Structure 1
Amino acid sequence: MKSNTWTMAMAAVCFSASVCLAQGSATPAAPTYAQSEPLGAAMEGWAYPFPVHSLQFDMQGQLVRMMYMDVAPTGTPNGRTVLLMHGKNFGSDYWTGTLRTLSAQGYRVIAPDQIGFGKSSKPEIRYHFADLARNTDRLLTHLGLSRVAVVANSMGGMLGVHFARMYPQRVSALVLENPLGLEDYTLHIPPQATDNLVKLEMAQTPATYRNFVRSYFPMWQPDFERFVEQFARVQLSAEYPRFAKVSALTYQMIYDAPITAELPRLNVPTLLAIGQLDRTVFGRRFAPPEVVRPLGNFAQLGKTAQSQIAGAKLVEFEGVGHVPHLEVPERFHAALLQFLQEQR
């Protein structure tokens, strides 16, 4: 089966879904992928929209490769660079539309796959946002970039906050698109043993993963089936158990590192771009419904976060879920470009 030009970082059980079957969305087609070509750890055979480059370095005593796209301006260059940070269940190529839009407006755009995701190495290590932030700093140094605007979705939003706190001199502006970590999951969700998370991951099927992906989107679009395709093809690989282990390890990273305490300490221009129908609760399946019910209200979480970040702006996308740049790209890009232009 011919692969498409989008990617998802790795398989994941219904760890952060608002519901495992989004209410009110159209019933998606449910193709099978049993005869598809497997995808290995480096996503061989899965095309990205632009050339992919590699930076090799040591991380916790292991030699790893960080893969990234470096897209030059196609419009009149404006001398500015934007760095895109992906979510847990996606790789950098889900930014395809954003890459093209920013490039057409004269921006250089850098879109890395963080270590543990997409086409980058997936070592079985203890993951920390501080390490991912240091890796990102290393990449910018390698590329000769001193300052960038950061646009970050979901888990990437958590990384964006940690990066801006660790390297404020690097960040000219910060855009947080439905970031995770706006509430402290450890206060509501019981901790989980990594081995248990791996077992749940290994029990996943394309059908259950499709339901998980649907929970991000109030309205299912046929293009979103590509995320299910990648999961199914990774699952066919002999390397899938390693994917499952790394997915569990990155779950622990997110669970352990809420950004609630960091928001008041941000001192960079910040835009919160929030889909109002998002009800994502990370690890919701591990808590009783009555505990989970009041959580994940991004319409309120966005307002609260704005009040905690000095000078932050808030753009609310009505009728939109967890990934506005995929669901309503024109609206998202218009808000993004306006904010970036204001930072001149």
Structure 2
Amino acid sequence: MKHTLFFLLYFFTAFFTLHAQDVRPLGIALENFDYPFPVDYIQLELQGEPLKMAYMDVQPEQANGKTVMLLHGKNFCGAYWEQTARDLSEAGYRVIIPDQIGFGKSSKPVDLQYTFHLLAQNTKKLLDSLGVDKTSVLGHSMGGMVATRFVLMYPEVVDKFILENPIGLEDWKVKVPYHSVEYWYEQELKKDYESIRQYQLQSYYDGKWQPKYDRWVNMLAGWTLSPQYPRVAWNAALTYDMIFTQPVVYEFEHVEAPTLLIIGQRDRTALGKNWVSEEVKQTLGNYPALGKATAEKIPNAQLVELDNVGHLPHIEAYDKFIEPLISFLNE
């Protein structure tokens, strides 16, 4: 028994060490992290600071005249939409993929008062710079909150609205105690490869790991090895505060666009679950219930429930994700 336990300990230590060795320091704007398509930038001045917003603009070979905009989640960047963008482009859609300010290859401000209104406004400026006056909008995770705010602010621009396992389907601050930006910053500074992987393993994939997930752990872990990581961590802390204090759940009834909800049923993501009692924890992040409730709130909504799929359908179960998406866009 002792030999077996020793072997298992050795195996897992070797496994984590092997993959941790794949991690290399990354620049503050992911300068040495490859994106699948050419990256361009628009210039913004926000609260007195000049900033750059990165984006990819994927043009189809045979255009159908329609555009889809893909909005990333908090622990990701536009690059994780690669396969989605390729298939949408093949179907004739122009695909625009921004990195929000504070994320990916976009600028990391010295200090910014983050709001979803600001991120939505930045996104509208990007579309204006590209001459896009109508688009479908797809948001995943935190991108779902950005997308919701965008749809509410600019309904005349939105053709169709898609939410893929968005956060913000409930108001965490009514159950979870508030923590300061300084607290979030301290937590971010503690992160490393193993803690990031463990969080994603449990929160996103329900303990079931596949090699294709490594790239997104390595990206975040690469930042922790950068001498500029404190700036990245500070922006991450500010955006956590934005997520916690700026719910969109009370405004779904005002969404005008035809809407598709793609909800992985195994997802239990919720901000601050570890700060509440076990009894309260059981009431948070119940995506099967949240998906149904949200579909009822949005006037013209369809709900697609993906059994045995977690927080990232377009990464974990791509075929189950892309089929209803393209079907909805083609309606």
TM-score (norm 1): 0.89
Q: Equivalent residue for 1:193?
A: 180
Q: Retained in 1: the 8 A contact 2:70–2:96?
A: yes
Q: Aligned-pair distance for 1:34? A: 5.6
- In structure 1, give the amino acid aligned to 2:40: H
Q: Retained in 1: the 8 A contact 2:74–2:141?
A: yes
Q: Equivalent residue for 2:4?
A: none
Q: Does 2:55 correspond to 1:68?
A: yes
Q: Aligned-pair distance for 1:237? A: 0.7
- In structure 2, give the amino acid aligned to 1:258: P
Larger RCO (alpha carbons 8 Å, 6+ apart): 1
Q: Equivalent residue for 1:131?
A: 118
Q: Secondary structure at the match of 2:84?
A: helix
Q: Aligned-pair distance for 1:32? A: 4.7
* Aligned 1:1-344 pairs, distance under 5 A: 29-30=15-16, 31-33=18-20, 36-74=23-61, 76-123=62-109, 124-214=111-201, 215-218=203-206, 219-342=208-331
Of 315-324 and 213-222, more deviation after overlay is shown by 213-222
Q: Retained in 1: the 8 A contact 2:25–2:226?
A: yes
- Mapped to 2, the partners of 1:157 and 1:46 lie a distance apart of 24
Q: Retained in 1: the 8 A contact 2:273–2:284?
A: no
Paired-residue identity, %: 45
- Which stretches in structure 1 are left out of the alignment for 5+ residues? 1-26
- Mapped to 1, the partners of 2:104 and 2:200 lie a distance apart of 17
Q: Aligned-pair distance for 1:111? A: 0.2
Q: Retained in 1: the 8 A contact 2:191–2:224?
A: no
Q: In angstroms, what is the RMSD of aligned CA positions? A: 1.4
- Mapped to 2, the partners of 1:85 and 1:307 lie a distance apart of 23
Q: Secondary structure at the match of 1:262?
A: helix
Q: Aligned-pair distance for 1:132? A: 0.3
Q: Retained in 2: the 8 A contact 1:33–1:233?
A: no
Of 272-281 and 208-217, more deviation after overlay is shown by 208-217
- Mapped to 1, the partners of 2:272 and 2:86 lie a distance apart of 33
Q: Aligned-pair distance for 1:287? A: 2.1
Which string of whole-angstrom CA distances, capped at 9 and with x for unpartnered residues, describes residues 221-256 of structure 1? 111111221122211111011111111100001001
Q: Aligned-pair distance for 1:318? A: 0.5
TM-score (norm 2): 0.92
- In structure 2, give the amino acid aligned to 1:151: L
- In structure 2, give the amino acid aligned to 1:161: T
Which string of whole-angstrom CA distances, capped at 9 and with x for unpartnered residues, describes residues 47-66 of structure 1? 00000001011111111100
- Mapped to 1, the partners of 2:318 and 2:118 lie a distance apart of 31
- Mapped to 2, the partners of 1:275 and 1:295 lie a distance apart of 15
- In structure 2, give the amino acid aligned to 1:212: Y
Which string of whole-angstrom CA distances, capped at 9 and with x for unpartnered residues, describes residues 289-327 of structure 1? 221111111011000001111020000100100111111
- In structure 2, give the amino acid aligned to 1:37: R
Pair member with larger Rg: 2
Q: Retained in 1: the 8 A contact 2:75–2:220?
A: no
- In structure 1, give the amino acid aligned to 2:153: M
- In structure 1, give the amino acid aligned to 2:228: E
Q: Retained in 2: the 8 A contact 1:113–1:119?
A: yes
Q: Retained in 1: the 8 A contact 2:71–2:144?
A: yes
Aligned pair count reads 315
- Which stretches in structure 2 are left out of the alignment for 5+ residues? 1-11
- In structure 2, give the amino acid aligned to 1:98: T
Which string of whole-angstrom CA distances, capped at 9 and with x for unpartnered residues, describes residues 60-106 of structure 1? 111110000000003x2100000000000000010011010100101
Q: Secondary structure at the match of 2:250?
A: coil
- In structure 2, give the amino acid aligned to 1:132: L
Q: Retained in 2: the 8 A contact 1:276–1:318?
A: yes
Q: Retained in 1: the 8 A contact 2:56–2:97?
A: yes
- Mapped to 2, the partners of 1:302 and 1:36 lie a distance apart of 36
